[in-house]
């Protein structure tokens, strides 16, 4: 057997478009404290969150995804892609997937379109999937959108989760290019451990429990998380995954200009950065303003950093995520030559 595959190297996925979108409604800690047994000090101290965005009644995940996707296509200067991937835990409905309707509404009918469900790790899984489509030459341009509306699955009276999650969408366009050019994505690390499936769940609505019934109906239909245990797994898994991706890329932690973790909780982000030996200034954090937006959190944080002109061509980025499943994943990339995107929440003031 030959030790290497003959022929030219496969194309690399190169970031060429970026955008984010959050709903206009802001929910502050003070507003939550009016209806829940909580207070601003607890939420800020335990999570670092000051406010989050929440969809209006009737506004669905695809609505945010379409807005972010349209802006990302404009950022890339294109109106055609070969594939649309939506990473989400809150699809518009169990069937069909959300990506085909998003593609159609963006004028991309005909493109391959499917959802990735890896909970809060969905964007990183989607990034690896998009890179694989490009490397295999099945696609030369891919629109990847991370979008979630956790407010539609979290019990509004559940103080533990209602304070953490927010709604939003972030999108990137990837094109075929060379691994050495600014914007090239990869290497990756992806993993899971389903033995801990019960730490983050929505019990009803699938084949195990098709419809929530009886006394437990309300609880089974809502999102549930054993936050304290998840916290410990998150720190360990994110740090280990980040190290694996760095090793595969041949980078040291000090080579990383911007660490962009899934915005789970500010304490988790800082604990992982500290574990990696990265100063907090290199950790991109916008969880204070948007909360934990699930699969949208990394592209929203990227958009925030780019809109504030923190990222420069050639900068080295490390993305790391963790979520239900359990799942985790990391990716490295260099920053492309890309016009700064519009700020995803301009009402908050100029970046």
CA-to-CA dists, residue 304 to 42, 227, 264, angstroms: 25, 26, 16
Residue 329: strand, helix, or coil? strand
Q: Does 46 bind ligand UT7 (CB under 6 A)?
A: yes
Window of 100-108, 172-180, 215-223, 262-270 that interacts with ligand UT7 by CB under 6 A: 262-270
Instruction: Report in angstroms how near the CB of residue 267 gets to ligand UT7 at its nearest.
Output: 7
Instruction: Given the residues 262, 265, 283, 286, select the one marked as catalytic.
Output: 262
Q: Is residue 155 within 8 Å of residue 218, measured between CB atoms?
A: yes
CA-to-CA dists, residue 227 to 47, 81, 230, angstroms: 11, 39, 5
Select from 69, 100, 126, 323 the one that contacts ligand UT7 (CB under 6 A): 323
Give 73: exposed, middle or buried? Use CB within 10 Å, 0-12, 13-18, 19+. Answer: buried
Task: Return the number of the residue (145 or 200) whose C-beta is nearest ligand UT7.
Answer: 200
Q: Is residue 205 within 8 Å of residue 292, measured between CB atoms?
A: no
Residue 120 a catalytic site member: yes
Q: How many chain residues interact with ligand UT7 (CB under 6 A)?
A: 20
What is the separation, in whole angstroms, between the first and last Cα of the chain? Answer: 55
Task: Return the number of the residue (320 or 334) whose C-beta is nearest ligand UT7.
Answer: 320
Q: Does 264 bind ligand UT7 (CB under 6 A)?
A: yes
Q: How many CA atoms lie within 13 A of 280 on its CB side?
A: 8
Task: Return the number of the residue (160 or 338) whose C-beta is nearest ligand UT7.
Answer: 160
Select from 234, 249, 266, 319 the one that contacts ligand UT7 (CB under 6 A): 234
Select from 74, 104, 135, 160 the one that contacts ligand UT7 (CB under 6 A): 160
Q: CB within 8 A of 78, min separation 6: which ones?
A: 16, 17, 141, 173
Footprint (CB under 6 A) of ligand UT7, residues 161-180: 163-164
Q: Does 72 bind ligand UT7 (CB under 6 A)?
A: no
CA-to-CA dists, residue 350 to 53, 150, 254, 344, angstroms: 18, 27, 30, 11
Select from 106, 120, 153, 290 the one that contacts ligand UT7 (CB under 6 A): 120
How is residue 166 written in tokens?
A: 């927010």
The 277-316 contact track toward ligand UT7, x by CB under 6 A, reads: ---------------x------------------------
CA-to-CA dists, residue 153 to 165, 166, 244, angstroms: 10, 11, 33
Task: Return the number of the residue (122 or 344) whose C-beta is nearest ligand UT7.
Answer: 122
Residue 292 a catalytic site member: yes
Footprint of ligand UT7 (CB under 6 A):
38, 42, 46-47, 120, 159-160, 163-164, 227-228, 230-231, 234, 264-265, 268, 292, 322-323
């Amino acid at each position: 057997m030959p030790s290497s595959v003959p022929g030219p190297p496969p194309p690399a996925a190169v970031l060429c478009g970026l955008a984010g979108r959050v709903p206009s409604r802001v929910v502050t800690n003070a507003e939550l404290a009016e209806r829940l047994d909580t207070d601003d000090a607890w939420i800020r101290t335990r999570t670092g969150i000051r406010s989050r965005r929440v969809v209006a009644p009737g506004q669905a995940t695809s609505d945010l995804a379409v807005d972010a996707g349209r802006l990302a296509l404009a950022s890339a200067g294109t109106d055609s892609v070969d594939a649309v991937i939506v990473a989400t835990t809150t699809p518009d409905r169990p069937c069909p997937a959300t990506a085909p309707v998003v593609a159609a509404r963006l004028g991309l009918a005909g493109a391959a379109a499917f959802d990735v469900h890896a909970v809060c790790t969905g964007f990183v899984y989607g990034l690896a999937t998009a890179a694989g489509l490009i490397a295999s030459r099945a696609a030369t341009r891919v629109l990847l959108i991370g979008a979630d509306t956790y407010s539609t699955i979290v019990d509004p009276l559940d103080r533990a989760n209602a304070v953490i999650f927010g709604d939003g969408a972030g999108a990137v366009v990837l094109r075929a290019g060379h691994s050495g050019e600014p914007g090239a994505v990869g290497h990756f690390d992806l993993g899971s451990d389903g033995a801990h499936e019960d730490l983050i769940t929505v019990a009803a609505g699938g084949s195990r429990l098709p419809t929530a019934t009886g006394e437990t109906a309300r609880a089974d239909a809502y999102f549930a998380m054993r936050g304290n245990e998840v916290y410990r797994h998150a720190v360990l898994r994110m740090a280990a995954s980040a190290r694996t991706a760095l090793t595969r890329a041949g980078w040291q932690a000090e080579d990383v200009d911007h660490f962009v973790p899934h915005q789970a909780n500010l304490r988790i982000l800082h604990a992982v950065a500290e574990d990696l030996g990265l100063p907090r200034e290199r950790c991109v954090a916008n969880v204070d303003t948007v909360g934990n937006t699930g699969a949208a959190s990394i592209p929203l944080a990227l958009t925030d950093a780019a809109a504030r002109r923190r990222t420069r061509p050639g900068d080295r980025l490390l993305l790391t995520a963790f979520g239900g499943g359990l799942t985790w994943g990391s990716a490295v990339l260099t920053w492309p030559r890309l016009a700064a995107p519009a700020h995803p929440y301009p009402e908050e003031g100029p970046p």
